[in-house]
Each structure stands twice: as C-alpha cells, then as structure tokens.
C-alpha cells in the first residue's frame, strides 16, 4: 500500500467513504461505487440539475456578477416542507438532472467564473461531497480563482468535512432544528441538533467568521441560515444559542421565507404563517448574541 498522503480532492481519498457509504451521518453502508443507493438515492456520480448565475442569494454572495450556483439533485435529509423538492426529492434522482463526472463539474465552475460570477455555490453537496471535492481540485488546477461556497443542510459528517479542508472558502450550512424530535418528524433524522452543532464547529475551525472584500462580497468564513418555522417548531432562540456557542461572531441569515411545500399539507402545524415581528425579534436576538446579520 502506498504511504503517500493524498491531497484534498483526490479520488483515492474518498473511495472508502463511498464504497461503504459513510459520507454523511446517515451512514447507509451501501456500495455506491457498485450502484447501490442509500437514503440520498444517488450513486457514485453527482447529478447536476442546473447551473447558472443566481441573484437571489444573500447580498454578500451575489455582488455584481451573481452567485455561480450548481444545483445538485438529491439530498441526505427528508424535509417534508422542502421548497426544492423537485430537485431534492424527485421520483428518480437521475431524472432531475444530468449525471456527470467531476471533470464536467469543474468545467461548469470555470464557465461560471468566466461569466463573471462572484463564487461557485454548490447547493446540496453533502451526499456527493466526494465528487464536489474532486471537481474543485480539478478546477483549481485549471485556474479557478473565485471562492467555493458549500451550501448544505447542516447534517454533515465531521470526517467528511475534515477531508474537505483546504477546498472550501465559504461554508453556508442550514441550522434547522434545536429540537431533535422536530428533526426526526420533519427532516427524517434522529439527531439533527447534535450533528449540526458538531459540523458547524468543524466548519468554523476551518474558515472562521465571515470575511468580505472591499465590495462587501464574501471571500471566506461561515454563514449560517436558519428558516423560522410556524409555531416556533424549530425553537429558533435555542438554534441561535447553538450557533453563537459553536461559531462565535459568525454571520447568520434568520430567514422569513417559509412556505408550506412538498408534503407539508400532511402536517397541519406546518400550514400556519410566520409573523414578521417574530422574525424581526429573532434577528435582533442573534445580534444580541454577537452574531452578524446577513439577511440583507
């Protein structure tokens, strides 16, 4: 066996995590290299649903050229209210986009940079982190210079994040739930708060608080997203407390965009509106806890 140390993004560094899949905390233990499918229903290759400049992200990501988003089909969470369910939870992941090799993903990233995008924003990368890592390494070798944004659901393995170190400039995780029972009921995982806290701590260790350039565009750091849920199902103040403890002074977007989608109609408690004053109070609470607002 070779004793050399693999560099981030090399396929050899990821094979063990994918053949007996423990790429995310679900630890399905399927051989994705052989075509077996776990909870994310995605094989060894990533499926790209779309790629292009996106101007609806946070201002610090959009800048003037837009955020160069690459939407990846499938997801390791099962959120019953998912607003991207056509991409994240299609009947077949392969039907939601194009199954492509890391070299092709790298070419997409370089093309987005050439179009003037401020960054390359991988949306829902957790379950295909191996492919993202290889694509980023290839793109860097071919001259990619803009920051990489890892735009994930927060349910991430610390081991996987360790292997991404040096490839990601901006981590943008969700922190959905402070209540494990809510995470189980609405996102299909039993241990969301503990996993998300450990993942956030590791992300923050790697890149620290959000840093922007002279134009106010993010170049490095952590930006957390938290979607305020009806009836405080997420226990949002506790979420903010978790974030402040794990990633002091990081940026946070307390989001007011909730709307019932996907299978939310099966849960009457998810159909109530979220009051603007509730969101405003939570944003102020985040500031009081020393976090930086990124909702504008």
Bridge-based pairing state of the strands 218-227 and 251-255: parallel
Q: Is the pLDDT of residue 68 over 60?
A: yes
Give strand ranges (E) for 92-188.
98-100, 120-123, 148-152, 170-173
Residue 121, pLDDT score = 98
Q: What kind and span of H or E run contains 50?
A: strand 46-54
pLDDT above 70 as % of the chain: 96
pLDDT in tens, 97-106: 999 999 999 9
Find the mean pLDDT for residues 153-182: 98
Q: How confident is the model at residue 227 (pLDDT cuts 50, 70, 90)?
A: very high
Provide the token pair at 272: 């109530």
Average pLDDT in the chain:
94
Confidence class for position 6, pLDDT limits 50, 70, 90: very low
Paired tokens of 259: 């709307």
Torsion of CA 268, 273, 278, 283, to 10 degrees: 100
Q: State how far the Cα of 44 lies from the Cα of 67, in Å rounded to an integer.
A: 26
Length of the chain: 296
Q: Is the pLDDT of residue 92 over 90?
A: no
**φ/ψ (deg, to 5) at 223:** -130, 115
The beta-carbon contacts of 257-261 under 8 Å, at least 24 apart in sequence, are 257/83, 257/227, 258/81, 258/227, 258/228, 258/229, 258/230, 259/83, 260/81, 261/81, 261/82, 261/83, 261/85
Give the integer Cα–Cα distance in Å for 216 and 206. Answer: 21
pLDDT at 5 over 50: no
Token pair belonging to 153: 């659901």
pLDDT tens column, 236-295: 999 999 999 999 999 999 999 999 999 999 999 999 999 999 999 999 999 999 999 998
Q: How confident is the model at residue 8 (pLDDT cuts 50, 70, 90)?
A: low
What distance in Å separates the CA atoms of residue 193 and residue 179, rounded to the nearest whole number?
A: 7
H or E stretch covering 69: strand 67-72
Q: Do 282 and 106 contact (CB within 8 A), yes or no?
A: no
pTM of structure? 0.94
208 burial level (CB within 10 Å; 0-12, 13-18, 19+): middle
pLDDT at 90: 83
pLDDT at 33: 94
Spatial distance between the Cα atoms of 116 and 289, rounded to a whole number of angstroms:
36
Residue 2 has pLDDT above 90, yes or no: no
Judged against a pLDDT cut of 80, whether residue 9 lies above it is answered with no
The token pair that represents 132 in the structure block: 């993202």
User: Tell me: the pLDDT tens digits for 39-60?
Assistant: 999 999 999 999 999 999 999 9
- Whose tokens are 């969700």? That residue is 174
Q: What are phi and psi of 31, to 5 degrees?
A: -95, 90
pLDDT, mean of residues 171-200: 98
State whether the Cα torsion 87-218-24-185 is positive or negative. Answer: negative
* Mean pLDDT for the stretch of residues 51-75: 97
Place of tokens 């992200």: 57
Q: Which domains does the chain have, with CATH numbers?
A: 11-293 (3.20.20.70)
**Top-confidence residue, 86 or 102:** 102
The greatest distance separating any two alpha carbons of the chain, rounded to the nearest whole angstrom, comes to 60
């Amino acid at each position: 066996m070779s004793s050399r140390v693999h560099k981030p993004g090399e396929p050899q560094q990821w094979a063990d995590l994918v053949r007996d899949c423990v790429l995310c905390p679900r630890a399905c233990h399927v051989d994705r290299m052989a075509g077996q499918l776990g909870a994310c229903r995605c094989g060894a290759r990533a499926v790209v649903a779309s790629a292009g400049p996106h101007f609806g992200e946070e201002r610090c990501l959009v800048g003037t050229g837009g955020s160069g988003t690459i939407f990846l089909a499938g997801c390791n969470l099962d959120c019953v209210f998912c607003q991207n369910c056509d991409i994240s939870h299609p009947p077949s992941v392969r039907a939601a986009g194009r199954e492509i090799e890391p070299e092709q993903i790298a070419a997409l990233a370089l093309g987005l940079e050439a179009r003037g995008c401020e960054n390359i924003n991988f949306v829902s990368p957790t379950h295909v982190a191996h492919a993202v890592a290889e694509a980023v390494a290839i793109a860097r070798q071919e001259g990619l210079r803009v920051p990489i944004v890892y735009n994930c659901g927060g349910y991430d393995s610390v081991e996987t994040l360790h292997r991404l170190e040096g490839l990601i400039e901006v981590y943008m995780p969700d922190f959905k739930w402070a209540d494990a029972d809510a995470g189980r009921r609405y996102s299909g995982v039993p241990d969301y708060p503990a996993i998300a806290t450990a993942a956030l701590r590791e992300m923050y260790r790697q890149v620290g608080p959000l840093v922007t350039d002279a134009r106010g565009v993010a170049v490095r750091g952590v930006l957390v997203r938290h979607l305020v849920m009806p009836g405080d199902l997420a226990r949002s103040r506790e979420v903010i407390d978790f974030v402040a403890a794990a990633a002091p002074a990081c940026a946070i977007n307390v989001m007011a965009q909730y709307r019932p989608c996907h299978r939310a109609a099966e849960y009457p408690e998810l159909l109530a509106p979220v009051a603007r004053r509730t969101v405003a109070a939570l944003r102020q609470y985040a500031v009081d806890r020393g976090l930086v607002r990124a909702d504008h």
